């Protein structure tokens, strides 16, 4: 018997939404702890939560604080998490028991947020970009746990595609092997985080939140386990040039290799260096795409809730 409730705190706002049968949307917290510096991370987190509320949906920011799983954060907790920044533990599936046992503070990755959302019966989750197969993975075997979680956990993930630093072709192959569909929202081409184009097609083009909600319901009602990816391109006004992004990534990767950075520290390092090398342009893109994903995620959560509410 699972004991998630023993380790979990639900915020007052989220508990009210559950009690009132109100739609909710999960949000991750490594964006806050490892995605950008303070106070921009706090300002962005607040803007993202407000974007969800503006769609008539309750935001559920997930994190671990003081050895407790947090399903929704009060304002004071959100502020504290933002101030902790990268001193918080980047928490994926493998890390959850150790962060809880140590009474620590953790920013939850896509994988960890999916797990916690599913346990709280939250079926839609919005993030920036997903992890995937890293470039050079044929030697390093560096594959994000996000991909395995998408294969086994029943949560739809709204994102701007895989992060630009990844081997996108191999990431798509891995997802296909594990039976994870990649749907493009109003696009037939997979977006690549900072860029609206990647050169790769999505599995399906979907044109409305309701269409996505129907596919979610059919998938899980058939007993087809696992999540799905809703790839939502970064808004055009924030998109970066694909060629320029590639040049910056190559430089950042060369620096990471030179100083020996790898594993769970690689992605935060690369994103930080890309921000520095792009003169802050990548951070603007990051904020723009996160807000865009939160709005679409809220619309999907609202439609799924109204059509197929399954909360007991």
User: Catalytic one among 13, 28, 55, 253?
Assistant: 28
- Whether 195 has a pLDDT exceeding 70, the answer reads yes
Query: 144-153, 238-247, 262-271, 299-308: lowest mean pLDDT where?
Result: 262-271
- The pLDDT, as a whole number, for residue 310 is 54
Helices (H), the chain: 4-7, 12-19, 30, 40-54, 75-84, 96-101, 110-119, 137-140, 145-152, 168-177, 209-221, 242-259, 266-277, 281-308
Euclidean distance between CA atoms 72 and 116, whole angstroms = 11
Between 231 and 141, residue with greater pLDDT: 231
- The pLDDT, as a whole number, for residue 176 is 96
User: How would you label 53-71 residue by residue, b for 16+ Cβ within 10 Å and e otherwise?
Assistant: eebebbbbbbbbbeeebbb
Euclidean distance between CA atoms 116 and 96, whole angstroms = 10
Beta carbons of 21 and 302 less than 8 angstroms apart: no
Under the banding of pLDDT at 50, 70 and 90, the label for residue 1 is low
Sign of the alpha-carbon dihedral angle for 147, 198, 45, 16: negative
pLDDT, tens digit (0-9, with 9 covering 90-100), for 273-290 = 888 888 888 889 999 999
**Cα–Cα separations (whole angstroms), residue 191 to 47, 81, 112, 209, 216:** 23, 29, 23, 18, 21
**Cα–Cα separations (whole angstroms), residue 259 to 201, 253, 254, 262, 301:** 35, 10, 9, 9, 43
Angle between helices 40-54 and 75-84 (to 10 degrees): 140
Under the banding of pLDDT at 50, 70 and 90, the label for residue 263 is confident
- Whether 62 has a pLDDT exceeding 80, the answer reads yes
The C-alpha angle with vertex 165 and arms to 163 and 171, in degrees rounded to 5, equals 65
Percent of the chain topping pLDDT 90: 75
- The pLDDT, as a whole number, for residue 312 is 43
Q: Is 131 helix (H, G, I), strand (E, B) or coil?
A: coil
Looking at the chain, how many residues does it have?
A: 312
Euclidean distance between CA atoms 111 and 148, whole angstroms = 8
H or E element, residue 229: strand 228-231
- Whether 88 has a pLDDT exceeding 70, the answer reads yes
Under the banding of pLDDT at 50, 70 and 90, the label for residue 135 is confident
| pTM summary value | 0.92
- The pLDDT, as a whole number, for residue 239 is 93
For every residue of 46-87, DSSP letters joined together read HHHHHHHHHTT-EEEEEEEETTEEEES--HHHHHHHHHHGGG
The C-alpha angle with vertex 281 and arms to 278 and 286, in degrees rounded to 5, equals 120
Percent of the chain topping pLDDT 70: 98
User: Catalytic one among 70, 90, 163, 264?
Assistant: 163
Strand-pair category, 204-206 with 228-231 = unpaired
Our answer to whether residue 237 is catalytic in this structure is: no
Which domains, ranges and CATH numbers included, belong to the chain?
Answer: 4-308 (3.40.1790.10)
Q: What distance lies between CA 107 and its chain's CA centroid?
A: 12
Between 111 and 132, residue with greater pLDDT: 111
Under the banding of pLDDT at 50, 70 and 90, the label for residue 12 is very high
Backbone angles phi, psi at 123, to 5 degrees: -105, -5
Q: What distance lies between CA 296 and its chain's CA centroid?
A: 13
Between 209 and 277, residue with greater pLDDT: 209
Mean pLDDT, residues 292-300: 98
Our answer to whether residue 13 is catalytic in this structure is: no
């Amino acid at each position: 018997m699972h004991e998630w409730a023993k380790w979990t705190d639900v915020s007052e706002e989220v508990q009210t939404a559950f009690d009132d049968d109100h739609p909710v949307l999960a949000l991750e917290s490594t964006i806050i702890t490892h995605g950008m510096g303070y106070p921009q991370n706090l300002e962005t987190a607040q803007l993202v939560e407000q974007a969800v509320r503006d769609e008539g949906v309750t935001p559920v920011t997930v994190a671990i604080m003081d050895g407790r799983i947090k399903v929704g954060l009060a304002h004071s907790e959100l502020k504290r998490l933002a101030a902790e920044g990268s001193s918080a533990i980047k928490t994926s599936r493998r890390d959850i028991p150790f962060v809880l046992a140590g009474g620590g503070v953790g920013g939850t990755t896509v994988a960890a947020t999916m797990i916690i959302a599913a346990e709280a019966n939250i079926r839609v989750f919005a993030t920036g970009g997903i992890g995937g197969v890293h470039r050079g993975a044929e030697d390093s075997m560096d594959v994000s746990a996000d991909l395995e979680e998408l294969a086994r956990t029943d949560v739809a993930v709204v994102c701007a595609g895989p992060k630009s630093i990844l081997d996108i072709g191999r990431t798509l192959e891995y997802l296909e092997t594990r039976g994870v569909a990649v749907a493009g929202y109003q696009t037939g081409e997979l977006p690549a985080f900072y860029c609206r184009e990647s050169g790769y097609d999505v599995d399906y083009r979907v044109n409305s939140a309701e269409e996505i909600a129907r596919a979610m319901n059919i998938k899980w009602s058939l007993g087809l386990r696992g999540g799905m990816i809703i790839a939502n391109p970064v808004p055009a006004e924030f998109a970066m040039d694909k060629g320029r992004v590639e040049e910056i990534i190559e430089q950042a990767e060369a620096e990471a290799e030179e100083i020996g950075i790898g594993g769970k520290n690689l992605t935060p390092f690369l994103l930080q260096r890309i921000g520095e090398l792009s003169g802050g342009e990548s951070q603007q893109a990051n904020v723009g795409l996160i807000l865009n994903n939160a709005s679409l995620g809220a619309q999907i959560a609202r439609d799924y809730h109204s059509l197929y509410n399954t909360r007991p």
